[in-house]
Amino acid sequence: MLIAQSFNLSRQKMLAFIDELKGTDSAASLYIPAGLSPHQIGKLTEKVNLENALPQIVELAANSKTGTAVFWSRSQKYLITPPFPIVEQRIDDSFIVAPLQSMLIHDYRIAIVLVRLGAYAIGLCQGENLIASKVGTGNIHSRHRQGGSSAKRFQRHREKQMEYFFTRVCGHAQEILRTEAAPIDYIVYGGAWTTILLLQKQCSFLSQFDNRNLPALLDIAEPRQRVLEYAIQRTWSSRIIEWNEDTGYGQIATSLTNN
């Protein structure tokens, strides 16, 4: 019986990981773009013997917002969710890592917008290098728990504070992200999802990036400079699921995650 385990790798460790992949024993590579239905993925995998892991692989691939790459042989079995979208569907009868390598060595220009009520962090990155940023706070009162006319006045005042806060954040986003140097390849949001939606609703400037969204980082702590730098690392990380006959990591995975 195959047992699945998962782990994350940074950009450099991921490049080292795929560079060491070797599939000399009945190996196959499968690149699955995002947006395919479970039925389409099932049809795509018909030529690859994925053993009893097939249902799990179909589900994982269907739920991925960036697609998945599967590397499968008798001794090595991996599903990789990359940080950026897989755009080309392909199947090969050996381990072909060039599409992943090309993705990971390219220094994409990425906008990062982290926001919670009362705090924000906006960054522009070239690869993993932060080239411009703005971090700040805003005064927004907590919700009023009592009823009556005073509560209504308080709520209107709170809404004005929120409007002013989002206007400021939007202005800083334009200041940081409106650049003539090069187009922005992707944008990633982080923080509280309801707050992100409120910002997007009020800040029409951000709508131009709607077709370049990466998966949101919704477990990000209160936005500040250190958290912004951590978000860059998270944005570039890949998630790997490995199947083994036992409970231990494979040789490649163990050596990389322990370093």
In this structure, are 138 and 50 located in the same domain? no
Is residue 89 situated within a structural domain?
no
Residues 40 and 151 in one domain: no
Q: Are strands 68-72 and 28-32 parallel, antiparallel or unpaired?
A: antiparallel
Q: Are 228 and 173 in the same domain?
A: yes
Using CA atoms, how far residue 212 sits from 66, 95, 156, 164, 222, in Å, is 11, 29, 34, 27, 24
User: Which residues are within 8 A (CB) of 81 and not within 5 positions of it... i.e. 6 or more apart?
Assistant: 60, 64, 66, 67, 68, 238, 239, 240
With residue 70 as reference, give the H or E element that holds it: strand 68-72
CA-wise closest residue to 228 among 69, 100, 121, 147: 121
Q: State whether 75 and 37 are in the same domain.
A: yes
Residues 115 and 192 occupy one common structural domain = yes
Q: Is residue 90 part of a domain?
A: no
Give me the CATH number covering residue 152. 3.30.420.60
Let me know if 58 is exposed, middle or buried by CB neighbors in 10 A (0-12, 13-18, 19+).
buried
Q: Note whether 144 and 177 are same-domain residues.
A: yes
**Distance between CA atoms of 103 and 110, rounded to whole angstroms?**
14
The reply to whether 100 falls in a domain is: no
CB distance 208 to 173 below 8 Å: no
Q: What is the pLDDT of residue 120?
A: 96
How far is residue 22 CA from its own chain's centroid?
A: 27
Beta bridge partners of 137: 119
Residues 157 and 67 in one domain: no
| Pair 226, 167 in one domain | yes
Please indicate, yes or no, whether residues 24 and 120 belong to a single structural domain of this protein: no
Per-residue confidence (pLDDT) for residue 252, from 0 to 100: 54
Q: Which residues form the domain of 10?
A: 3-83+237-257
Residue 181 tokens, joined: 């140097």
Judge whether 115 lies within some domain.
yes
| 222, 116: one domain | yes
**Average pLDDT by stretches of 10, the chain with 259 residues:** 91 95 83 94 87 88 96 92 95 93 96 95 96 88 58 74 92 90 92 95 95 93 93 96 71 52
By DSSP bridging, strand 129-137 and strand 119-126 are antiparallel
The 10 Å Cβ neighbour count of residue 17 is 22
Which residues, 6 or more positions from 63, have their beta carbon under 8 angstroms from its beta carbon? none
The reply to whether 130 and 14 lie within a common domain is no
Number of domains in the chain: 2
In this structure, is residue 91 part of a structural domain?
A: no
Q: Would you say residue 102 lies in a domain?
A: no
